[in-house]
Amino acid sequence: MELKDLFASATSSRFKRGDVIYHVGDEPQNIYFVESGLVGLALWGESGKDHLVRLFHQGDIFGHRTLFAREKYHATATVIDASTVRVLSKDQMRSLMKGNCDLAEKLLELLAKELRQAELRQMTLSEKEAPQRIAEAVVYLKELHPSYDWTRQEIADFCGTTTATVIRTLARFVDEGLIQQEGREIRILNREALLSQG
């Protein structure tokens, strides 16, 4: 069984940009599967601003870690681009998992991979300079969801810097012929050179 097969009988819901699927502090009742669109996970920082820490696109599952940990949600899940999301209740999940070792192994594998990605991202934020983080974020975000025009704030949140730094750095990338900007749209002209920033 593939993880997406879990959601074959789950309720399908449509969300528009800006809709909140769950808030920080809510008790988890469901897990979610993104059929289409893009959902962001944001943390409220000490500065009083939200920080985009995770993105979920087509084929991704979210909300599961908190459900299994029996904790309240530590962040808010907000729709970034119009999305269709399948919603599986806690009770449905428990019923599907009973006596299903293959499913349990797949969920453990998913959690282990997510932990590794989180560790690598933390290392990136602590060891790389802002231009390199911004370059990698632009490439990642554009490849993740090419049709979405990422705001400078969203890019800054994702790579752990300020909006002003992103604006200055993107202007430099334009001058160097690495990207083009038109309004919010960013077009990558030289992916390899962009990723070699450092």
Phi, psi dihedrals of residue 35, rounded to the nearest 5°: -80, -40
Number of domains comprising the chain:
2
- Which pTM value belongs to this model? 0.70
Q: So what's the pLDDT on residue 46?
A: 55
Query: In this structure, are residues 178 and 193 in contact, taking their beta carbons and an 8 Å threshold?
Result: yes
Residues 7 and 66 in one domain: yes
Q: How many helices (H) and strands (E) does the chain have?
A: 7, 8
Structure tokens at 198: 């450092």
**pLDDT tens per residue, range 21-52:** 999 999 999 999 999 999 988 876 555 566 78
Residues 91 and 76 in one domain: yes
Q: What is the mean pLDDT of residues 174-190?
A: 91
Distance, in Å, from the CA atom of 178 to the CA atom of 57, rounded to the nearest integer, reads: 26
Q: What is the mean pLDDT of residues 152-161?
A: 86
- The domain boundary residue, chosen from 125, 154, 185: 125
How many C-beta atoms surround the C-beta of residue 63 within 10 A? Answer: 25
Residues 135 and 118 in one domain: no
Q: What is the mean pLDDT of residues 159-165?
A: 88
* Residue type at 69 in one-letter notation: A
C-alpha dihedral, 170 to 175 to 177 to 179, nearest 10°: 20
Q: What is the mean pLDDT of residues 5-13?
A: 84
How many Å separate Cα 107 from the centre of its chain? 18
Residues 58 and 13 in one domain: yes
Q: So what's the pLDDT on residue 188?
A: 92
Q: So what's the pLDDT on residue 198?
A: 58
- Helix, strand, coil in percent for the chain, rounding step 5: 45, 30, 30
Query: In this structure, are residues 76 and 41 in contact, taking their beta carbons and an 8 Å threshold?
Result: yes
- The domain boundary residue, chosen from 74, 109, 125: 125
The rounded mean pLDDT for the chain is 84
Phi, psi dihedrals of residue 138, rounded to the nearest 5°: -60, -45
Q: What is the mean pLDDT of residues 159-173?
A: 91
Range of the domain at 156: 128-195
Query: In this structure, are residues 28 and 63 in contact, taking their beta carbons and an 8 Å threshold?
Result: yes
Residues 132 and 110 in one domain: no
Q: Minimum mean pLDDT among 41-50, 59-68, 187-196: which range? A: 41-50
Residue 21 belongs to domain with CATH number: 2.60.120.10
Taking the chain, what is the end-to-end CA distance rounded to the nearest angstrom?
43
Residues 153 and 117 in one domain: no
Residue 139 belongs to domain with CATH number: 1.10.10.10
Is 198 or 183 the better-scoring residue by pLDDT? 183
